[in-house]
Amino acid sequence: MSTSAGEHTDPDVRRPLSPLERWYWIADQISPLHVIARVRLHGHFAPELARRSLDGLQARHPLLRVAIATDAGRPAAFVPCAGTIPLREVTTTDADAETRWQQEINDRELVDRLDWRTGPLLRAVVVTRGDEVHDLVLTLAHCIADGTTALSLLQQWIRIADGYRSGAGAPARARSLPAPEDLFPRRHRGTSGALAVVRAQLRDQIARVRWRPRRIAASAAVPFDRRRTGFIHRSLSAAQVDALADVCRREGATVHGALAAAMAAAVAEDAGSGADGHVVVGSPVDFRGELDPPVSPDEVGAYVATIPSYVPHRPGAPLWPAARAVSDDLARRRRRGEHLSMIGLLRWLGPPDLAASTPFVRQVERQGPGNLCLSNLGRHQFPDELGPWRLSGAQFVAGISVSGYFVATVNTTHDHLFWNFTYVDGIVPRARAERLADACVTTLLSAVAADPHRGRTHVV
């Protein structure tokens, strides 16, 4: 597809939801499915400028100006809406002001629904302490955003504010794009795409039969429509990030593989079996660069697909063989295009609407790759300074809805690795979720400290 064919001249979006977008929208109706980005801004940031620049951000991107219509007899569709992005301002002088943004995400942003009928499908919060410290938070519906989108929009919001402050004026309009699936490369469309879906499903079925992988077991049953996402924040320091990267290079593993192996070990030990086995860990894969035409990280949309890895775990064994296994497995799956095949599966099996979704939701709970999930953006380029402001702590958080039980979101930004955990409360009670989060971090850092320096030369 040429670039001109991939763009729309209409500045607004009017089209049916794709199978991927429709699934995210259906899941969100059962239990909120949000993507959230946060950054700390140091310096004066007037409420009037925050409001004006948020309006500029919305004017730039067509998908920030939509609601979802469900006219009788027609598929759910994006339609233009007139509403502005809601902006909530929180002023805090409390002793917990340093972590108030975490409270806002846990108590409000992961829980309070976005009104898809009226739109727009996002909102913003500014948590202010004094006049010089502001936590900026964007919350978006997953049907129009992923972690990359959320962090990019957060940066664009600040950049637009700087432009208005300096007299640069309104930003250029972004192009309006078709649905993600309409930009798939040719080999993942039509008959060849359907065959790729079948091959990927057969491989995973064989792997499930062979490995019988562990999944996080529920502490208690919680009905789908009563599931609530909770949030736990963890991070690694700059020194810890450097040590981790160095060991991964020596061990021939990716940082993602090491994180996934640590999570698998924590879950296996939480289960208490004490036996060798495998743990399934889902990894969302960004496919923007594989589309025709490619999509920029600055453009709005959901461009990730989650694929499973069956991570080996041997009690007492070093972490690095498992980390290498994950790294190699994900590389193979990406080469085969299994992430795109996962989305292709939704075209054939995904539910058409909420009323028909229960069998699919139950199947996702039994076998879906999101039960234990690690969404890692790697080193994300977010500036340390922009205009007159200093920026720190840019990171993202993912709601779970009905897609899993325990999820980690990771990005390495501002010299820190931010490792945020979300969980379905009750299925994983908070005390258990905190133990799992701490076990993930401790397992990883212990493996880094105990690395035998085998002298491998692979590159992360």
First-last CA distance in the chain = 33
CATH number of 180-379+397-449: 3.30.559.30
Angle between helices 255-271 and 430-449 (to 10 degrees): 130
Give 1: exposed, middle or buried? Use CB within 10 Å, 0-12, 13-18, 19+: middle
Strand 87-91 to 122-129 pairing: parallel
pLDDT at 454 over 80: no
Give percent of the chain above pLDDT 90.
Answer: 81
CA distance 361 to 71: 24
Name the superfamily (CATH) of residues 3-166: Chloramphenicol acetyltransferase-like domain (3.30.559.10)
Range(s) of the chain covered by CATH 3.30.559.30: 180-379+397-449
Q: Which two tokens stand for residue 249?
A: 């290079």
Name the pLDDT band for 194 (thresholds 50, 70, 90). Answer: low
Check if the beta carbon of residue 227 is closer than 8 Å to that of residue 31.
Answer: yes
- pLDDT, tens digit, for every residue of 340-381? 988 888 888 899 999 999 999 999 999 989 999 999 999 999
> Taking 50 as the threshold, does the pLDDT of residue 6 lie above it?
no
What is the distance between the alpha carbons of residues 308 and 448, in angstroms, rounded to a whole number? 25
Q: 255: closest CA among 376, 421, 370? A: 376
CA dist., res. 237 & res. 286, Å (int): 26
Give the contacts of 423 (CB within 8 A, at least 6 positions apart): 229, 230, 232, 400, 405, 406, 407, 430, 433, 436
Residues, the chain: 460
Q: What is the pLDDT of residues 39-70, one digit of tens each?
A: 999 999 999 999 999 999 999 999 999 999 99
Q: Which amino acid is at 223?
A: P
Spatial contact of 198 and 189, defined as CB atoms under 8 Å apart: no
Q: Encode pLDDT of 214-256 as tens digits.
A: 899 999 999 999 999 999 999 999 999 999 999 999 999 999 9
Q: To which residue do tokens 């925050």 refer?
A: 50
Kindly report the average pLDDT of the chain as a whole number: 92
3-class DSSP state of 172: coil
Question: Angle formed by the axes of helices 19-30 and 338-349, to 10°?
Answer: 70
CATH 3.30.559.10 maps onto the chain at 3-166
Nearest CA-CA partner of 42 in 136, 125, 124: 136
Place of tokens 């994300």: 380
Nearest to 279 by CA among 183, 102, 406: 406
pLDDT at 455: 41
Confidence band for 170, pLDDT divided at 50, 70 and 90: confident
